[in-house]
Amino acid sequence: MMHSAQSGYAVAGKDTRVLNANAHELITILFEELLNLLDEISIIHERGKTKEIVDQQVMALSIVDSLIVSLDMENGGELAENLRNTYAQVRALIAADDPDANLRNNRTAYKFISEIYSAWRQIA
């Protein structure tokens, strides 16, 4: 019962954070959620339960799509184009259906996103 109440508070806290966020903070939240999902995927892979990652992959792909859509391609110039290409690579890594490469692909996707997130946080 206590865990359920704590989970409820965590969800309420996230909801409040999202509702009160400006555009920059929303992108920050997307990065954080994507990195958390990629962490979960790695843990599941390491436990050998690869059939259980579908939900996390779907959510991760949805976040990557949101990051792509958030790019200002008209005003962003070369940076926006490079980010779109990187996000497309990350999407392909997450969606790849090669059991032998899934963990490596996930770690590569995590590395790409963590580097972009780090740069993003510096412009806050």
36 to each of 1, 20, 101, how far by Cα in Å?
25, 21, 20
Domain count, the chain: 1
pLDDT (tens digit per residue) in 2-36: 455 555 545 555 566 666 668 889 999 999 999 99
Domain range enclosing 36: 22-122
pLDDT (tens digit per residue) in 83-94: 999 999 999 999
Contact 96/57 with Cβ under 8 angstroms?
A: no
What's 40's domain CATH number? Answer: 1.20.120.340
Asked whether residue 28 is assigned to any structural domain, the reply reads yes
